[in-house]
Structure 1
Amino acid sequence: MARRRRGLPIDGVLLLDKPKGMSSNYALQRARRLFQAQKAGHTGTLDPMATGLLPVLFGEATKFSQHLLEADKVYRTRVELGTSTDTGDAEGEVIACRPVPALEESDVASMVAGFIGEQDQLPPMYSALKHQGRKLYELAREGKSVERASRRIKVYDARLLCVSLAGESPCFDLEVRVSKGTYVRVLAEDMARALGCEGHISQLRRLKSGPFDASGMQDFEALEALPDQAALEAQLMPVDCLLGHLAAHRLSESGAKAMRYGQIARGELAPEMPGTADRALIRLYHGETFVGLGGVESSGDVVPRRLLSSFVAGSGQT
C-alpha cells in the first residue's frame, strides 16, 4: 500500500525572493513547511550568497519544472577586481592576486560588449554538478579537482551599470541575460582576466527566470505575516503560468475522455492550427481548466504527454 503523503495538496508557483546566506534547498523546505504543502521543488539553484528570484513549485507544478530550468535568466552582479577566490565569490578563500592595470570606464565597457554572444564555459568545481555520483563542491571541499567538460553558453545581453576604478576596491556592476547553465561567477572571472587581472563576484541577484521577473516576488517576512492559509495560497500563480510559451487548445468532450484513459485524441486538431507543428507540445484545457500537455501529430491527433493527476483521476467519469 502506497504511503500517504503528509501535508496539503497545494498546486501552484511561488515567486520567492531568496535571502542571502540561505541555500536554495533550505529556502525550498522553509517554503514547503510554511505552506504545509505535500510536494515542492525549485527551478534552478541559487548560491547561498545570491539573492532574488527562486521559483518554488508546489504539487502538480513540479511536473513542468523542466520548462523553467531551460529558460534564460537575468542577473545583476558586482565584480571585484584584483583577487580571485576558490569559489569565485566573496565567500571563498583568496587564491590569486594581480594588480589591476590602469583602466578607463570605456575599457571595461568595451570588454563587456565583447562577451555578448556564444562561448564555451568551464563549470566551476564549486557547483552542484556531479562526478561519479558526487557533487563537485563536495570534492572541492576535500581539495580535489576533476576534469569537467566545457559547456556552450550564450550571453544575450550585458549591460554595464556602474564602474568604480579608484581606491582600494576597484569593481564594476553588471546586468546580464544568459542562457541556461551559465555560471555568472565564471563569467566574472573571465571578464576580469580579459582586463588583465583577477576577479570574483561580491554580489549576485537573480532578477528574471523565463517569463517571471522580480515584480512578482515575495519574501519570507511578508509571507509569514499573512493571516491564514487562504491568504498564503492567494500568493501562488497557477500551474500553467510555466507554459505560456506553448500554444493552447481546449479539448472536445471526446478528446478529454480519450486523454483521461491515456489514449490518443483522434482528429482533435485542424492540421493548420496556429502555433503548432508536428511533434510540438501544446497546453490542454478541459473547459477553462488546465489539464496538462499533449503532443501534436501531423494528422491532427493529440497524444497525452504530461497530464495533471486530478484530471486523470476523473477517468471514471462519463
Structure 2
Amino acid sequence: MFHGVINIYKEPGFTSHDVVAKLRGILRQKKIGHTGTLDPAAEGVLPVCLGKGTKLCDLLTDKRKTYQAVLLLGTETDTQDMTGTILSEKPTEQLTEPAVRGAAESFVGPYMQVPPMYSALKVNGKKLYELARAGKEVERAARPVEIYDLQIDAVELPRVTMTVTCSKGTYIRTLCHDIGEKLGCGGCMEKLIRTRVDRFTIGDSLRLSEVEALAKAGQIEDRIVPVDGMFEDCPAYVSESEVLDKLLQNGNPFPKGLGPRDGCLVQIGSSLAEHQVSADGNSEMVLPDSGIIRVYDSANQFIGLYAYQPEKKQWKPRKIFLGGE
C-alpha cells in the first residue's frame, strides 16, 4: 500500500470522486481520499491522500489555494459559471479597463461571500445543489473568506483573466459573480484552473494516464510525498528508549524526561533543526513558529506530530499517523 500525498492534475469532465475511484483501480488500494473538490468543469491541482496520508485530508483542505480564472462579464447564470442556464445578458461596451481592474482588486482582503445555490453546502440537512435542481432557492448566510492576492493577467472585454490566491471555502465563480455585480453588468466564471494548493503546483502534477504509466513501470512511489515529508519545517526527534517507543506506538503523551531534553532534538534525514547552547552547556532546539515537532520511534518509524505542554511537563500528540494499513 502507498502512503502519502500525490499531486494529480484533474482534467475537465471528471469529478474529484471520479479521480479517487480511478486511482483506486490504478494503485490497487482502497484507502484514498481527495483534499477538497474541484467542480467537474474545472481542472488543475488536486492533492490526493493515500493510505496513512488520508489523515492529512483535513489539514490540506485548510491550505491556501491559487487559481487562474476567466471572468465573462455581461453574462449571469444560475450556477455562476458557463455550465448553467443564462439568466441575463447585458452590454459591456461601456466598461473601461481601469474600472474593471478597480472592481476586481477591491475584493482583495477579507470579505463576506454568499455561497452559490449550486454547491455541496448543506442547509437543514439538504445539499444546496439538490434544492437548486428542484427549483428551490433558500437564503444562505454569508461566510468570511479572504482573497490574499488578485492579479489581472489580461483584459479583453468581455473577458478578464485573473490569478487569485484565496482562503479555504472561497468560491471563485461567486467572486466572478460579485465582480460583475459591482460593475453593474453581471458576470460569471467561464474557465477555472487551480494552479497551486500549498506546496503542490500545476507543473508537478500528474494526469491519471501518467500515474498509470508510472505505476506499471514501478516508479510511482518517487512521485508520492511521504506523510512526514509534509512536515519538513518541523524539527525531528528520534526515540532512543524502548519505554518511549511503547508510549509512542500506543499514541500516548510522554513526560519530558523521556523525550527531547529541554527541546534538544536528534536530527534525521534532511531535517534541519536550529539549536542554541544553554547556560549549562546543553544544546537546545529553537522550536519553529508552530511549536510542533515530528516524532519517530527508534526504528525511524514516523509516529506523528507532538507539542510540548509546559504546565504538564509532557509532550502531547497533535496528530498521530500510525495505522491506516
Instruction: Assess same fold via TM > 0.5.
Output: yes
Assess if the C-alpha contact under 8 Å between 1:71 and 1:179 holds in 2.
yes
Q: Which deviates more from structure 2 when the two are superposed, residues 228-237 or residues 172-181?
A: 228-237
Rounded Cα–Cα distance in structure 2 between residues aligned with 1:62 and 1:15: 14
Deviations 1:52-103 (A, max 9, x none): 0001111100112111111100000000011111111111100122222512
- Determine the structure 1 residue equivalent to 2:39: 47
User: Does structure 1 conserve the Cα–Cα contact (< 8 Å) formed by 2:233 and 2:288?
Assistant: no
Aligned to 2:276: none
- Partners of 1:113 and 1:222 lie apart in 2 by 37
Aligned to 1:203, which of 177, 185, 191? 191
Residue 282 of structure 1 is matched in structure 2 by: 293
Equivalent in the alignment of 1:62: 54
| Stretches of structure 1 lacking an aligned partner (at least 5 in a row) | 1-8, 314-318
2:315 corresponds, among 290, 299, 302, to 302
Deviations 1:100-136 (A, max 9, x none): 2512222222222211111100111111111233221
1:233 and 1:50, CA in 2 relative to 1: closer, same or farther beyond 3 A? same
Tell me if the contact between 2:72 and 2:187 (Cα under 8 Å) persists in the aligned partners. Answer: yes
Instruction: Tell me the TM-score normalized by structure 2.
Output: 0.85
- Whether the aligned pair in 2 keeps the contact of 1:71 and 1:210 (CA below 8 Å) is yes
C-alpha separation between the residues in 1 aligned to 2:295 and 2:205?
27
Which amino acid counterpart does residue 46 of structure 1 have in structure 2?
L
* Residue of structure 1 equivalent to 2:251: 262
Q: Which of 214, 218, 230 is the aligned partner of 1:226?
A: 214
**Residue in structure 2 matched with residue 95 of structure 1 by the alignment:** 87
Q: Which moved more, 1:133-142 or 1:239-248?
A: 239-248
Q: Which residue in 2 is equivalent to 1:161?
A: 153
Q: Aligned residue pairs: how many?
A: 299
Shift of 1:227: 6.1
Q: Cα offset for 1:281?
A: 4.3
Contact map agreement 1:100 1:196 (CA 8 A) in 2: no
How does the TM-score come out when normalised to structure 1? 0.87
Q: Matched residues, percent identical?
A: 35
Following the alignment from structure 2 to structure 1, what is the Cα–Cα distance between the partners of residues 194 and 285? Answer: 36
Aligned twin of 1:35: 27
> Matched residues in 2 for 1:145 and 1:243: separation?
43
Unaligned runs of 5+ in 2: 264-283
Equivalent of 1:119, from 107, 111, 118? 111
Residue 80 (1) aligns with residue 72 (2): yes
Cα pair 1:17 1:217 within 8 Å, conserved? yes
